[in-house]
A and B are shown apart, each in its own frame.
Chain A
């Protein structure tokens, strides 16, 4: 699958300068997201997947810093854009949904006010009354029951699932071209997770939005996404379309990860478990970062970092098993 590139990330590096030393949260990643697709960035805790999302919006808090790289959105480099122009893009062309809906909503204002505010600040709607009516329409669209009543509620009066629906309604208020969802359902129960993911996909279709889903849940990826990038310790190790990745994973980490998740529809006597632990991001192993836990490691893996190569069309992997040297 290919098409027009909506978002292109080139050699992005985000380092956190902590007391512990320099944490290379994102260390030179490249990726392309095509218009209209849903792209997943998956990885375990601390692999840097959320940092990528925030770097795209230039929302890296200190002591973090974007050290290098370029992020092209519709051809414009977001990282060199003046703050004012970037602000016009944030929340309008690119919307962001975070893991914790309670922290995304201001407890002091009603849901209706907060949705209206996004509309007024981006669309040049002059009358608050119009914005309010539009907000009501949005709440109905995200299937909030009794929207007329809920619009006047404060965030704390709503359940976690409802709050996430409000956040989603805010994010689609300006018909964004790119929707970045950072673990949007991690804090929610399975049935609510399914409802929310269905909603996101429905709205994506309706508004012809592109979705960048950040998650640790490979099940969600299989269920909802078109293409996947797998991250490990600040690097992308494999990129492929979903069917290929789940059927024929190439990188040993992806293989291990897929064998480590229990599948409820299969009887497995014993799960595979990747040996060892994720090393501290401060003292990264030289060469390939997965080498200390990899059962196929060769000499070269300890010496040199593997390059990203296209093993078959649109299937990229960073591993010395597939690189010629």
Chain B
């Protein structure tokens, strides 16, 4: 499969300003590279503050990078202008975490979806009402929901509306930024299944961002693990769970509660030391070394490169790199 998105050494530093001077930088995303292949779901997992949402926003160009770039279908995303940019917006969409803030409270469902169509499609359907209703049906809503305001819906239904807005654009690539983390378990399963079905039907490529490893595993073909602005490991989804290489991935895996008491109590428990440091002054060398159970002196001095250990399995750790 061909790569549809190529992220190349992407960096986003946010300035911390005091009066007129820049006091420091929050290194939200700090030198990240990977590719996403057409038709796959690429999972991005990490804890709060690791920069995963910033990365998602950079890829759909809601933010401009400090350095590095993203290629979509071979074109540099941040150089697109005019018609090419419009074309990019039509092909790349994003679904946000909080369905309570992602819908304009003063617009009715019909207007929300119709706006997306008018903004991106060249051919405007003749009977807009019918067309919007058909999209709503695809996400499990019905015609009677057309002329209602967002506040009349539950969280799960709102997320369906947000997905309908994205479907209306008929994109190729969708960034899903924690689409179910504010929903209950039973509703989460409905939305995840729907996203899977839609992918099959329309051959979407997904970037699925979440802090929940179990959900990411269920959705993704390949998974990248992020820690403090860096990617520490990329591997096919099964492999990352069966044979995690990076100590952080191992710690993360052993920290997620498993909904099966027998397995949960018999497995090994690894815990990281202390708390994640601030992304303002990340530790030198490997960013995980102060918390890593297996850190050595090299880890504190030099940053480990992301290298391919096996086919399609990348890890950034001195345990596996030759030096």
Which residues of A are at the interface with B, using a C-beta cutoff of 8 A? 44-45, 145, 159, 161-162, 189-195, 198, 216-223, 242-243, 246, 256-258, 260-265, 267-268, 270-274, 277-278
Contacts and interface: CB of A to CB of B under 8 A. Distances in A.
Contacts of A223: 257-258, 261, 264-265
Given A190-B47, A194-B271, A268-B218, A44 B262 contact: no
Contacts of B269: 194, 198
Given A194-B271, A271-B218, 14 more contacts: A193-B255, A193-B257, A216-B185, A218-B185, A222-B261, A223-B265, A256-B186, A260-B188, A262-B192, A263-B259, A264-B213, A264-B241, A267-B238, A271-B193
Contacts of B256: 190, 194, 219, 264
Interface in B47-71: 47-48
A44 B47 CA distance: 23
B255 A265 contact: no
Contacts of A271: 189, 192-193, 218
Contacts of A277: 154, 156-157, 187
Given A189-B47, A191-B255, A262 B217 contact: yes
A322 B265 CA distance: 30
Nearest to B291: A191
B190 interface: yes
B266 to A, nearest CB: 11
A114 B297 CA distance: 41
B218 A262 contact: yes
Interface string B232-253: 0000001001000000000111
Given A145-B274, A162-B275, A267-B238, A261 B261 contact: no
A190 B211 contact: yes
B214 interface: yes
B201 interface: no
A239 to B, nearest CB: 16
B282 interface: no
A89 to B, nearest CB: 31
A216 B182 CA distance: 12
B259 A222 contact: yes
Nearest to B265: A223
B260 interface: yes
A265 B258 contact: yes
Nearest to A192: B275
Nearest to B154: A277
What is the interface residue range for chain B against chain A?
A: 35 or more
B263 interface: yes
A267 B238 CA distance: 8
A223 B267 CA distance: 10
A198 B260 CA distance: 17
B185 A190 contact: no
B252 A273 contact: no
Given A243-B262, A264-B217, A268-B218, A257 B255 contact: no
Nearest to B242: A265
Nearest to B49: A189
B7 interface: no
Nearest to B262: A243
Given A45-B184, A222-B264, A277-B154, A263 B258 contact: yes
Given A270-B193, A273-B193, A219 B48 contact: no
A264 B253 contact: yes
Contacts of A219: 214, 256-259, 264
B3 interface: no
Contacts of B217: 262, 264
B272 interface: yes
Contacts of B157: 277
B133 interface: no
A44 B186 contact: yes
Nearest to B238: A267
A39 to B, nearest CB: 14
A192 B49 CA distance: 13
B261 A243 contact: yes
A217 to B, nearest CB: 6
**8 nearest CB pairs, A to B:** A219-B257, A194-B255, A273-B189, A260-B189, A262-B218, A189-B47, A264-B214, A262-B214
